[in-house]
Amino acid sequence: MTPLSERFVRGDTNEDGSLELSDAVRTLTWLFQSATAPACRAAADSNDDGALDLSDAVFSLAHLFLGGEAPPPPFPDCGTVRRDQPPGCVQANICR
């Protein structure tokens, strides 16, 4: 059984169960205003490139408002961190 800490929804940075504007804002706040790091960095990596940066917020916003590509799995439902990625969630999240 996969530990709760490895389950997440890609793009759901604030862990409320869905990808929305507040997730992109949460990512930007962490990147540019030194807010607390997201509890699940794997979820914050919206474009699944292995890095947490401005491109993740832009990717999410493009999907939400410009008809851009959807985040890679696990999206829109809960899933697990792939074996080639380190565990990205430091606490249990919305995916139980």
Residue 37: inside a domain: yes
| Region of residue 43 (left: phi > 0; alpha: psi -120 to 50; beta: else) | alpha
pLDDT category of residue 17 using cuts at 50, 70 and 90 = confident
Task: Note whether residue 88 is domain-resident.
Answer: no
Q: What is the pLDDT of residues 27-42, one digit of tens each?
A: 999 999 988 888 888 8
pLDDT, residue 86, reads 54
Tell me which residue range forms the domain holding 56: 4-80
Confirm whether 19 is domain-assigned: yes
Is residue 34 a part of any domain in this protein? Answer: yes
Average pLDDT of span 46-65 = 95
Rounded distance, CA 81 to CA 58, Å?
Answer: 22
- Taking residues 45-70, what's their average pLDDT? 96
**Cross-strand pairs, 7:** 80
Considering only residues 34 and 48, tell me which one the structure prediction assigns the higher pLDDT. 48
Residue 95 lies in a domain: no
Short-list 11, 20, 90, 17, CA closest to 48? 11
Q: Residue 62 falls within a domain, yes or no? A: yes
Contact status, residue 10 vs residue 42, Cβ threshold 8 Å: yes
- What Cα–Cα distance (Å) separates residue 63 from each residue in 12, 35, 50, 85? 13, 24, 19, 23
Q: Is residue 85 part of a domain?
A: no
Q: What pLDDT digit, counting tens, does each position of 73-93 carry?
A: 999 998 887 666 655 676 656
pTM of this structure: 0.86
Number of domains in the chain: 1
Q: Has residue 33 been placed in a domain?
A: yes
Residue 43's CATH number = 1.10.1330.10
